[in-house]
Amino acid sequence: MTDSSLPSLTARPPADAPLPGQGQCTLVGAGPGDPDLLTIAAAKALQRATVLLVDDLVNDAVLQWAPASARIVHVGKRGGCQSTPQAFIQRLMLQEVQAGENVVRLKGGDPFIFGRGGEEVEFLRAHGIEPRIINGVTAGLAALTSLGAPLTHRDHAQGVVFITGHAKPGGQGPDWAQLARTAHDARLTLVIYMGVASAEAISQGLGSGLPADTPVAIVQHASLPQQRHAITDLAHLPATMARDKLASPSIIVVGDVVQCVALAAQASRTIGPAGHRDFSEICGYDSHSSVEDRASIA
């Protein structure tokens, strides 16, 4: 282990270790990318794994917790790219558990937020296997936090909606106009996953129920060293994303809490950064820029 501050992880055997000869499966959230955001429960599960089935948004750095003897299978699945079919992944999971392995299914962020974790659990249960689930920090949570801003705030937002911009093939996407009216009336922050390809539809649809100058943050590779972001408004969302070449994986956050990003950047200049990030370097523009300034150059 590289982190000597957590020596007790190996100090005693886990209470729920598999019985000899009995396989088990644990769905583990690997967090948004920064390996330090892995939970202790996740690190313990990795330490016990004999087989790991790893999604492609998982940072390989978290695999340091797995034993050197563990078999690691990368089973990436990215929209529009060549990927391992879901049915194959599920069959592989089942086969390995039935062969007596201690399988860890490692998924980016949280396994139960847009990770198809629900489908995998249903599949395992249908075959008589009850998996264990370990939460991870979901990307939508890490995205705005990485810019020093909250998702809820008593002055700006009373709740949060995590929503996908990408419909199941053949399925219907979100009703953005309806969602905008609800977000407006209930004062909700919208956190959009997989929204890069739908930026135009999001901007137009949400624009029919929310003011055109509603602030928006786009955060790519949240929590990783290559993180980039832009602050704009609803009307300028597609143009800003195109100009700044913000691509997948990105989170789009819509709502008044995004105003707090500018305040956080300002504070980091006057009282010093809380972490290691210099916002003006990350986003490539003067961190004093307000949301309105940013939108006007978009």
- Active-site residues, by number, are 55, 77, 194
> Of 78 and 288, which has the nearer Cβ to ligand SAH?
78
We find the least distance from the C-beta atom of residue 59 to ligand SAH, in angstroms, to be 8
In the complex, the smallest distance separating the C-beta of residue 76 from ligand SAH, rounded to whole angstroms, is 11
Q: Is 183 or 219 the residue whose CB approaches ligand SAH more closely?
A: 219
Least Å distance, CB 33 to ligand SAH, is: 4
Our CB check for ligand SAH shows the closer of 44 and 221 to be 221
The answer to whether 142 and 222 have CB atoms below 8 angstroms apart is yes
CB proximity list for 74: less than 8 A, separation 6 or greater = 54, 56
User: Residues interacting with ligand SAH, by CB under 6 A?
Assistant: 32-33, 57, 107-110, 113-115, 138-139, 143, 193-194, 219-224, 248-251
Please spell the DSSP secondary structure of the chain, one letter per residue: ---TT-GGGGTS--TTPPPTT--EEEEEE-BSS-GGGS-HHHHHHHHH-SEEEE-TTS-GGGGGGS-TTSEEEE----TTS----HHHHHHHHHHHHHTT-EEEEEESB-TTSSSSHHHHHHHHHHTT---EEE----HHHHHHHTTT--S-BTTTBSEEEEEESSPPTTS----HHHHHHHHHHHTEEEEEES-GGGHHHHHHHHHTTS-TT-EEEEEESTTSTT-EEEEEEGGGHHHHHHHTT--SSEEEEESGGGHHHHHHHHHHHHT--SSS--HHHHHTS-TT--HHHHHHH-
Give the residue with the Cβ less far from ligand SAH, 24 or 138.
138
Q: How far is the CB of 75 from ligand SAH (least distance, A)?
A: 14
Q: Which is nearer to ligand SAH, 114 or 176 (CB)?
A: 114
Shortest spacing between CB 112 and ligand SAH, in angstroms: 8
Separation of alpha carbons 114 and 99, rounded Å: 28
Measured from the CB atom, the residue of 65 and 162 that comes closer to ligand SAH is 162
**Cβ-closest residue to ligand SAH?**
109
Shortest Å distance, C-beta 37 to ligand SAH: 10
